[in-house]
Each structure stands twice: as C-alpha cells, then as structure tokens.
Amino acid sequence: MRISDLLDKNSVDRLPSLPDKAAVINHLVDLVARSGCLKDKEEFRRAVLAREAQDSTGFGEGIAIPHAKSDGVARPGLAALLVASGVDFAAFDGQKVQLFFMIASPQHASDEHIDVLARLSALLMDDACRTRLKQAQSSEELLRLIDEAETAQSVQDAQAQEQAAAQQSASAVQAAVGDDDGYDLVAVTACPAGLSHTYMAAEALEQKARELGIKIKVEADGAAGNRNRLLPEDIAHAKAVIVAADRAVEMDRFIGKPMVRVGVGEGVHHPAQLIERALSAKCPVYQAGGMLETSSVPMRLYRHLMSGLTYLLPVAATAGILSAAARLDVIKDSSTGLFLDTIGYSLGTLLFPILSAFIAFSIAGRTALVAGFTGGVMADMSGAGVVGALLNGFIGGGAAFVLTKLAVRFLKGHDAMFALLVYPLLGATVTTLFAQFVTSLPAAFVDNWLEDFLLTASRAELMIIGAVLAGMMAADMGGPCNKIAYATGVLLLADCLPENGPGSLVMAAVMAGGMVPPLAAALAAGLLGRHYFTKDERVQAPAAALKGLMFITEGVLPYLVAKRMRLACIVGSAVAGAVSMGSHCGLCAPHGGIFIVPLAENPWLYLLALAVGTLCGALCFVLLRRQLRHAQKKAKLKAAAATPAAPN
C-alpha cells in the first residue's frame, strides 16, 4: 500500500488562509470524512481534540500532523491540507504552520496502514520534500508531489535495505570471530496514539546517528506494536539508551544502562542533543523509579496529579452512585439499601489512598506504591482530607525516588533485592513521618477551611464560585481552564464522599458547565435561530443535544465557527453554574450527565439550572451568529464594490 492509496484525492485541499487552529481541525475532519472512512465524524473530531489537548501536534518547520485513534473511524484514512498564509497551531518552534496531514486510525489498526503512516512521517523529516510540498499551487499538485516523494523514498529504502543486509552479513562474520561490538546506542520511541510522533522520532534519531557515524537501533513502539524490537543482546552491548516516549514502555530491561529519558517530541526536534547526552560520561544510569523528564516542574507536577485523578474517577463515581442510591426513599430502610450503603462507604474509604498511591506511582513507579497508599491512609486518619492526600502522594513519590537513587549509589547495582521489602518499608516510614509532623496540620487546616467556607458561604458567594468554575469548563474545551475546573470539582467531591457534602455542590456546577454548551448550540440551531445556521448544523442539533445531556462538552465544536462563539458557551455555562450552586444542588459522581440527576440533591432545581443556562447560551448563540452573518454580508458587499467592472 502506498500513501496515495490511503490519501483520497477528495481529502486533499489547498486554501489561501484559515483563521485559527480550530478552523484547521474542523476542515481537516471534513476532508477525512469525504473519503468515507468515518462512521461517526463527531466522535473522531472529539478524539482529535482530546489528542491536541495533551500536546500540540505542530512539529515545527511549518508541519503539523493532528491524529487520533477512535471508534468513530471505520477504516484508516488520511487528509492533506496546505494553507498558504500559515496558521498559528501552537507549534513547537512557535512558527506558523502551512502543511497539515490528519491521520484517522481505527482503535485496532492494521499493520499495513501503520507502515504507510510511518513512511509519511519519514518523508516529512526530509527538508527538501517539505519545501516542495509547501510550494504546491493546487491540491492536485500537492497530491502529485507526495506520490513522487514516496516513489523516491522507496528507491532509497531499497538501497538502504541492501546496505543493511550487507552490514548484517559483515556483522555475522565479525561475531563468528568475536569482533562485534554491537550498537553504540539503542532507543525506544512511543506516543499515546502510536502514529506519527512515534515514527518521526525514530526517523530523526536514525538520520542523525547516520550523520554522526554512530550505530543505533531504534524500537518504534507504535500502534501496530513494537517495530524493530530491541533484543537482550542489543541492550547488553549498547553503550547507552534513549527513551523518547510520552507513555509507559517496558523499562525494566534497561536497568543498569546509562539512559536519557525524554518526551517523544524531544526525539523529533533534538536528536543530536539526545545522542550527545546519552554518550556523555555524565549520563545517569537508569534504575527502577526514575522519573520522566519534562519541560518544566509545573508540567511535571500537573501530569502526576492527572495520573492520580485518572485512577480516582471510576472509584469515586461508583462510591458516590451506590451511596446516593442507598439513600433513596424506596430502599433506604431495606437490606438492599444497607448493602449498597456499606459498599459505597467502603469504596469511599479508598479514595484518598488511591489518589495518593497513583500520584506516587506516576513519580517513581512501583517502588512508590506502598508509600503513596500510606500517605492516603495518613491523610484519612489525621483528617487532612484531599489536600493531605495530594501532598502525601507527592511526598511518597519523592521519598521513593530519592531512596532508589541512594540505593543505586551505595548498593552498587545490588539494589534489586531490596525492592520487595526495603523500599516499601522505608518509603512508608518516611511518608508517615512527613505526614505526621509536617503536612497533616496545615493540610487539615486548609481542608477544613475550604469545607467551612462552602458550608457558610452566602448565596451570592456560592453563585460567583459556580459561575467561575462552570464558565472555565466552557472556556477552552479540554484546555488548562477546563481541566483545572474539572479537577477542582472531582477533588472536592472526593473530599466529601460517600456523603453529599459541600464538594458535591461544586461538582454539580462543574458538570452543568460542561453540559450546557452543546445543549445551547442545539437549541439555537434547531429552534431559536435556524436561519442563522447551515443545513448541516441544523441536522446535527439532535446529536449535539444528546451529547450535552451525556456531559460530552465537545458536542458543541461543530458550531464554533469563530472564536466569538465561545462567549455564548461561557455565558450559558456560567449562568447554569451560578443557579446550580445558588440552589444548593449537589451531584454524587464526577460523570454521568443526565443519568445521575435523579440521584442529585435538589434534582428539579438542577434541571432548572440546566434549562436557564441552556436558554441564555442559546440566545447568545443566535445573537452572535446574527452579528457574524451581517459582518460576512458586509464584507462581501465591500469586496464586490472594490472589484472593477469587466469591460464591454
């Protein structure tokens, strides 16, 4: 299969300009859909946006490859877009991006199409190829240049394979006489989706190693599994290891080897520096518990917190729903109600240990789990609440990390025997001491202050808090504001479960903020302002409403044709959040949308809050769409007036 087989001619386009990143992604999703490879365009769009929220796919050098694996993809697809004037895509180098490729991959990708995507990633690493593609004057020329570049690359690959075969033969001869030193470096590349970043990083490392005369073997741990898998003898003979990965890879095989650990983006952009660091005499030796390097300490802490929340969410949802169901009038005095309440309460006691343990696990791996669990237990016992659990999770992870580093230094590589007993025991001891004498008192003070403030706040104060958090949910759709607001709701909810404490009020406002935007857009497009919306937008209104009811905020994305449309989302969400908190509505779970409203505190008032916020948001949508329509008509009239009349 060739790239041209995967890249339908209807999915290639060239435009003079596009306003922003959102417009590029929406246009690319539409291009992918033209090939007929999608069974649910909106589900794929959400997956792409979720991937972008993790990290920009703008590689620099004017190239971006947004991509995602999704159940909304029926078969592999590819789209290409050239925007002549460039678009600010939050690229790595801060420059505008002109050339975009969007990859649509099913959840279970075939090896054949992964090979094609890997070949595309390799092509885009070539400076001359990128330059030619950016200079294309039409979509037809762009498609032709891609095909020509792939043909040339195929010839080079064949020559490289012949050279590799010759080298393997020579290596076999050398091995027979005992003169084979193996690879200078081995490396692993991996990204969450396992598509473009994985193979571009591998290609960059291999190219730079060839230029420097260094022998390297790179394992691309992509969507189709490990390609070019490292063998034990490869690792044993290598002088050092480079791991460029944004997700978990098999690490225990590298214990005792000098290692550089970075994100996959570093492998794409700075291969020379990584090779230099790996071969440096100062390169640290990897032992269990090493941390992944990131660009900044705040980002590192943020990722560890998100790791803890990932494991906390399903337990919190289950504990909250079971406990809320047990309090329903129809079963609360029965044996069934008692059983559900017991299970919910028991799960609720695990929330702090789970949060702390998996924050610690994110920092230092398995050696930190016991320390993390201990920190959560200490937070529960001392009344330090979720604040104490957070602090103790970071302390437990840090303690385990330091202990493993000390063991590496003083035990001379014999620290593996300590992993089962000594690391957990020392980690738990250190965490207990810190929790008892350092964190418990201030954490309990802050946690109690937050609870008291929410319990005693006036209606106006509660409405302001609800408006701010709910508005943040709609501000950037998966960006920092959205994640901070959601994390706040989840953590405060976990602080009060399995009861309906003040944290449930915050969670209700946050969920309302996420439900309202698609509901408001659906109401505006389907009823209040139909003539201001396109036919496709009117047709999508029922689906958007359903997604809103299910707390899928991304259902509003097809209606955000201009940045000003976000204002309608923010206004509607803020109103809903304010009414929800002002009415003392509480939710028992961090997800579920309309399905958990029957278990809510003051459910009818919560539905009223959703309705009021939806109506306000819909009216704002209509007003902003009307202004946008008038501005477009005015621009067309101005352009027509400026065009000289054709001579008779």
Write the burial class of residue 164 (CB in 10 Å: 0-12 exposed, 13-18 middle, 19+ buried): exposed
Q: Cα separation of 58 and 136, whole Å? A: 20
In the chain, the amino acid numbered 517 is P
**β 240-245/259-262 pair status:** parallel
* Two tokens, residue 189: 């590349």
| Cβ atoms of 256 and 285 closer than 8 Å | yes
Would you say the C-alpha torsion 566, 568, 569, 575 has a positive or negative sign? positive
- Closest among 551, 607, 484, 581 to 317, alpha carbons compared: 551
Task: Give CA–CA dist 275/201, Å, rounded.
Answer: 12
Which one-letter DSSP state was computed for residue 416? Answer: G
Angstrom distance (rounded) from CA 494 to CA 447: 12
The pair phi, psi for residue 289, each rounded to 5°, is 100, 5
27, 67, 113, 591: the active-site residue? 67
Per the annotation, the verdict on 585 as an active-site residue is: no
Which amino acid type is present at position 130?
Answer: R
The pair of three-digit structure tokens given for residue 92, joined into one six-digit string: 């790595």
DSSP labels for 540-585? THHHHHHHHHTT-GGGGGGG--STTHHHHHHHHHHHHHHHHHHTT-
Residues contacting residue 62 through CB under 8 Å, at least 6 positions apart:
86, 95, 96, 97, 98, 99, 130, 134
Omega within 30 of 0 (cis) for the link into 498: yes
Contacts of 511 (CB under 8 A, 6+ apart): 489, 551, 587, 590, 591, 593
Tokens at residue 447, please?
Answer: 């946690």
Catalytic site residue 620?
no
Task: Check if the beta carbon of residue 33 is closer than 8 Å to that of residue 41.
Answer: yes
Ordered alpha helix ranges (H), 419-561: 422-434, 440-456, 459-475, 480-496, 502-523, 535-539, 541-549
Check residue 435 and report its DSSP letter.
I
CA atoms within 13 A on the CB side of 596: 27
Catalytic pick from 129, 191, 569, 585?
Answer: 191
Cβ 505 vs Cβ 572: under 8 Å: no
Query: Which residues have a catalytic role annotated?
Result: 67, 191
